[in-house]
Homo-oligomer: A and B are copies of this chain.
Amino acid sequence: VETPPADPAEAEAFLRLYHAENPAAGPLRTRLREVLRSIARTGTYTHTPDELVYGARVAWRNSARCIGRLYWRALRVRDLRDVGSVEGVAVGCVEHLREATGDGRIRPTITVFAPDRPGRPGPRVLNEQLIRYAGYRRADGSVYGDPRNADLTDLARGLGWTGGAGTRFDVLPLVVRAGDGPPRVCAIPGDAVLEVPLRHPDHPWFASLGLRWHAVPAISGMRLEIGGVRYPCAPFNGWYMGTEIGARNLGDADRYDMVPAVAARLGLDTSHDRTLWRDRALVELNVAVLASFAAAGVTITDHHTESRRFLAHLEREERAGRICPADWSWIVPPISGSATPVFHRYYDEARLTPAFVQPGAGV
Contact = CB atoms under 8 A, between A and B. Distances in A.
Interface of A: 242, 247-248, 251-252, 259, 273-276, 278-280, 282-283, 286-287, 290-291, 294, 302, 304-305, 328-329, 332-339, 343-344
Nearest to A338: B334
Given A251-B338, A252-B338, A339-B259, A276 B283 contact: yes
B339 A251 contact: yes
B337 A334 contact: yes
A282 B339 contact: yes
Given A279-B286, A280-B283, A329-B329, A305 B273 contact: yes
A340 B29 CA distance: 54
30 contacts: A247-B338, A251-B339, A252-B338, A252-B344, A273-B302, A273-B304, A273-B305, A274-B291, A274-B294, A274-B302, A275-B290, A276-B283, A276-B286, A276-B287, A276-B302, A278-B336, A279-B335, A279-B336, A279-B339, A280-B283, A280-B287, A282-B336, A282-B339, A283-B283, A328-B329, A334-B337, A334-B339, A335-B335, A335-B336, A336-B336
Nearest to A294: B274
- Dominant SS at the A interface? helix
A338 B335 CA distance: 7
Nearest to A246: B276
6 shortest A-B CB distances, which residue pairs?
A334-B338, A273-B304, A279-B336, A274-B290, A279-B283, A278-B339
A187 to B, nearest CB: 32
Nearest to A341: B253
A275 B259 contact: no
A188 to B, nearest CB: 28
A200 to B, nearest CB: 12
Contacts of A332: 329, 337
Contacts of A274: 242, 290-291, 294, 302, 305
A337 B339 contact: no
A110 to B, nearest CB: 27
A66 to B, nearest CB: 17
A192 to B, nearest CB: 27
A241 to B, nearest CB: 11
A337 to B, nearest CB: 5
A282 B303 CA distance: 15
